[in-house]
Amino acid sequence: MRILFVGDIVGRPGRKIFSALLPLLRKEFSKIDFVIVNGENAAAGKGLTDKIMNELFAAGVDGITSGNHIWDRSDFFTVLDGEPRVIRPANYPPGCPGLGWTVLSKNGMKLGLINLQGRVFMPDIDCPFRKADEVLETFADVPVLVDFHAEATSEKRVLGFYLDGRVSAFLGTHTHVQTADEEILPGGTAYISDVGMTGSFQSAIGMTLESVLPRFLTSLPSRFQVASDDLRLNAVIVDVDNETKKAVSIQRIARSLCETEA
C-alpha cells in the first residue's frame, strides 16, 4: 500500500499548489492508494470550511487530519461531527466535536488514521501516549497512520519510538518546516518529525513576513496574512507491506510547481 501524506496546506495558495501538483505526483509515484492531507490551515490559514473540505475531497483527497487550528471556525464543528473522513486530535477531551480516528476504505483496502496532538508548548489536553494506547486497541488488523501534531522534537521522537512496531507510519506536523530525519524505526514504523507545509515559502511558515515581523519586534497582537510567493508542497510517500503492516519505505517530497513540471 502506498500513501501520500501532505503537510499542512496553508490557505488558498496552499490549495492551489496542492491541486496543481497532485496529478503530477500521481504520475511520478504510480499507484498511490491513499492521499491524506493535514487541513488545519486550509481556510485562510485558520481551520477548514465545508466548501474547502469538499474541494479537497474533489481533488482526490481520501482523508484529512488536523490540529490546534481546526477549532478556529466554530461553524465547522457540525461538519466535523458528521464527516468521518476529517479527524481532529483524538486527545482533546470528551465533549469536543468530531472524531480523533477513523478507518478509510478504498478499493478494498483499509487504512486506519489517528490524529494526536502534543502538549509541550501547546494547549492542556489529554495525554497523547495513553490516548494512543487506547485508540490502537480499537483497530484490528489494519495498517495505521498517525499524524502527531506537536511542537517539541523530544515529544515527537519519544511518542514515535513508543508506537514503533504498533503503527505503520508516525508522521509529525505543526512546525510547518520539513525535517530531514525520515526513517524506518527498528520496529517497522515509518517516522518523520515533521512533514512540513504546503503553501508559500517566502514567508513565516505560510504567513507574510510583513505581517509576522511586527509581532516579534513589539510583542503586540497582530493579524497574520497568508503569503502567496514561492509556492511549494511538502509531503511524504510511505509504502507499507500489506501483509506485515510494516513500513517498507518513507520518502520526503518538497516540490515547487516548476520543478515538478520539468
Rounded to whole angstroms, what are the CA distances from 23 to 54, 126, 192, 253? 17, 38, 24, 14
Question: What is the per-residue binding string for Fe ion in 42-81, x denoting contact by CB under 5 A?
Answer: -------------------------xx-------------
Question: Please, which residues have CB within 8 angstroms of residue 244's CB and are 6 or more apart in sequence?
Answer: 188
Q: Is 115 annotated as a binding residue?
A: no
Consult the annotation and say whether 174 binds a ligand: yes
State which residue, 45 or 188, has the beta carbon closest to Fe ion. 45
Considering CB distances under 5 to 8 angstroms, the limit depending on partner class, which of Fe ion, its own copies, none binds residue 41? Answer: Fe ion
Is 149 labelled as part of a ligand binding site?
yes
Pick left, alpha or beta for residue 199 (phi over 0 → left; psi -120 to 50 → alpha; otherwise beta).
Answer: left
Q: Which three cell numbers stand for residue 17?
A: 499548489
Fill in the amino acid letter for 171.
Answer: L
Task: Give residues 236-255 in contact with its own copies (rule: CB under 8 A).
Answer: 252, 254
Candidate list 123, 187, 244, 259; residue touching its own copies; CB under 8 A: 123
175 is a site residue for its own copies (CB under 8 A):
yes
Query: Which of 202, 142, 40, 162 minimizes the C-alpha distance to 170?
Result: 162
- Could you confirm whether 69 is annotated as catalytic? yes
Q: Residues 6 or more apart from 251 whose CB is under 8 A from it? A: 182, 236, 237, 238
Residue 8 in the binding site for Fe ion (CB under 5 A): yes
- 91 among annotated binding-site residues: no
Nearest alpha-carbon partner for 236 in 253, 260, 259: 253
Calculate Rg over the CA atoms of the chain. Answer: 17
Q: Lay out the site mask for its own copies across 43-72 (x = CB under 8 A, - = otherwise).
A: ----------------------------xx
196 sits near its own copies (criterion: CB under 8 A)? yes
Marked catalytic residue, from 43, 45, 48, 69: 69
Which residues does 2 contact at the CB level (< 8 Å), separation at least 6? Answer: 29, 31, 32, 33, 34, 237, 238, 239, 240
Tell whether residue 138 is a contact of its own copies (CB under 8 A). Answer: no
Q: If binding is defined by CB under 8 A, does position 259 make contact with its own copies? A: no
- 3-class DSSP state of 136: helix
Q: Residue 117 or 168: which CB sits closer to its own copies?
A: 117
First to last CA, the chain: 27
Residues in the chain: 262
261 is annotated as contributing to ligand binding: no
* Residue 192 CB neighbours (<10 A): 26
Residues marked active site are found at 69
Annotated binding site for Fe cation: 8, 40-41, 68, 149, 174, 176
Annotated binding site: 8, 40-41, 68, 149, 174, 176
Summarize as ranges the residues that interact with Fe ion (CB under 5 A).
8, 40-41, 67-68, 174
Summarize as ranges the residues that interact with its own copies (CB under 8 A).
71-72, 92-96, 119-121, 123-127, 129-130, 151-159, 161-162, 175-181, 186, 193-194, 196, 201-205, 209, 212-213, 216-221, 252, 254
